[in-house]
Amino acid sequence: MKAILVDDEQLALDYLQRLLEKMGGIQVQGAYTNSVTAKKHILQQEVDVVFLDIHLPEINGIELAEKIIEAKPEATIVFTTAYDNYAVQAFELNAIDYLMKPIQLNRLETTMERIKQLNGLKRPIEASKHQFLRVHVFGNLSFQLVDGEKEIVTWRTKKGMETFLYLILHREQLVSKATLIELLWPDANPDKVYTHLYTTIYHVRKTLSKYNNHFKLKNKAEGYILRTKDVLLDVEQWKDKIETLPSLSDKTIQMYEDAMAIYTGGYLQDYDYLWAEGERYKYEQQWVEIALQIAAFYVRQGKLIEAKQWYTRICADAPLVEEAYFALMKIFAAEKDHVSVHRQYQILENVLYEELDVAPSDEVQKWYLHSCTSTNEGILHNTSKR
């Protein structure tokens, strides 16, 4: 294993190098007290692990780390620090990411063993020609190689995942550091906020290193650009599909069904991000509009089973759409399933009261009252004949 050491204290460098030599199996490629020189040599050499002091005079160690990972995503960074609380709380790092000074040999051995295990588990995915990666943001975030199973990506921190999601929404665009800071840490201590940002970007790079054939997170002076290659984003596929749908007919209904199959849940529905709410609402309204068209088409075609399935799904996924409940009530009435008519009305009434503190519209109430009256009259008429 090839290592490079960076610390502004020569004594600390010499001590760490002696410990590594004592362990064996580790080749120290260089030891540097100057971070600028260190960065230059790290980018020029093959390196497996970089031992990096968090507090460097020329540059924040975390910022240097994320720049190293940008160029060498397969490298592992181990931070060294004399500040316990600062390291654990402010940097949100786990045991493999930092060593407390003075470094103990047994602690260093544990860290190196974990690095070996980690390198065995996190090999970059070998991409064949035209291998595409699907990124699902409808419902839960997941990755999926074409013809493979969905994979729920493990993120070190919630901020890391949110940063990735914001960057992929604005992929191929420059996202300023100021924007990310305002978005993620609006109330953070100004003295530490850039450390939070650099730490988060570092973790995003490490998480994406497994998919480095598909993602490149570029560092610019004012911010970051997430570049993608052979990435299929479900929300983009959805938009492309629905924008090109022809008029609904027997010949095109399957195109509508296929397009709607892409929408597997609300946009980032399980994540409470204020910046995502506008997009989530927009896509939900588009889905409801098309779903109502499909359901109404099936009613006109006399395919009531399919119609009921779509209206039921609308009621489940967009429970405030009164039109779907009303349509179901009419279908049940036509089938003389009066129990289901009553049940559907009660569900609508409860949902509207609990969510909006309102009653069903006058049109629905009048129709329901007339339906109940007609049903009772029919029952009395049939009884009088006996």
Question: For the chain, which residues make up each domain, given as ranges?
Answer: 2-121, 133-232, 233-385
Q: 146: number of CA atoms within 13 Å, CB side?
A: 12
pLDDT reported for residue 134: 93
Whether the CB-CB separation of 208 and 215 falls below 8 Å is answered with yes
pLDDT tens column, 263-313: 999 999 989 899 999 999 999 999 999 999 999 999 999 999 999 999 999
DSSP H stretches of helix in the chain: 10-23, 35-44, 61-71, 84-85, 91, 105-121, 158-169, 177-184, 193-208, 234-243, 253-262, 277-300, 304-317, 322-334, 338-356, 362-385
The confidence score (pLDDT) of residue 116 equals 80
Same fold, 2-121 and 133-232: no
Q: How many angstroms separate the CA atoms of 363 and 111, rounded?
A: 69
Residues of the chain with pLDDT under 50: 89-90, 92-96, 121, 127-129, 377-386
- 2-121: CATH architecture: 3-Layer(aba) Sandwich (3.40)
Return the CATH number of 233-385, one of 2.30.30.110, 1.10.287.3510, 1.25.40.10, 1.10.1040.10: 1.25.40.10
pLDDT recorded at residue 375: 66
In this structure, the strands spanning 223-228 and 175-176 are antiparallel
Distance CA 42, CA 230 (A): 29
Within its chain, how far is the Cα of 83 from the centroid? 32
Instruction: Please give the pLDDT value at position 384.
Output: 32
- Quote the CA–CA distance of 86 and 107 in Å, as a whole number: 19
The stretches of 24-104 forming alpha helices (DSSP H) are: 35-44, 61-71, 84-85, 91
Residue 197 to residues 54, 82, 96, Cα–Cα distance (Å): 14, 21, 20
pTM of the model: 0.76
Q: Which pLDDT value is given to residue 15? A: 93
* CB-CB contact of 265 with 140 (8 Å): yes
Look at domain 133-232 and name its CATH class: mainly alpha
pLDDT reported for residue 84 = 58
- Residue 282, pLDDT score: 95
